[in-house]
Amino acid sequence: MIMTQNSEDFELDYYQDIIDFYQNKQFDKVSKEIWISKTYIKLMKVLERTQNKEYVKNAILILLSLFEKNPPDHYINQGINSNNLPPEDKKSFKAILKSEFINEYPN
């Protein structure tokens, strides 16, 4: 694909190229990793040339969503459910969160 700044369809075409590569399951692991690395490099060059952060961010999110071993929301299944904590631990947990929140956003 030829990258041009003037093409209104450029972003959609690039996203489609990523999806097409993902759907083509004929690549071995090494070839896939090389393609992904080259794609990141191309995206950094596009960012440098166009300053289009939103487009590059979206393309990276697509790459991560499709090719990463851990899904983007892998934290949802980790940790301890706060509803299962003993009352004293729950109270301590809330105090820690409250303290962190207050320290993060001073009045």
Over residues 45-62, the pLDDT tens digits come to 888 888 888 888 888 888
pLDDT band at 33 (very low <50, low <70, confident <90, very high): confident
pLDDT at position 3: 45
Would you say the pTM of this structure is higher than 0.75? no
pLDDT at position 71: 57
**DSSP codes, 62-107:** HHHHHH-SS-TTGGGGSS--GGGS-HHHHHHHHHHHHHHHHHHS--
- Calculate the average pLDDT of the chain: 78
Mean per-residue pLDDT for 17-44?
86
Mean per-residue pLDDT for 1-21?
68
For the chain, domain boundaries: 10-75
Examine the pLDDT at 2 and tell me if it is beyond 50: no
Mean per-residue pLDDT for 76-90?
77
Question: What is the distance between the alpha carbons of residues 77 and 74, in angstroms, rounded to a whole number?
Answer: 6
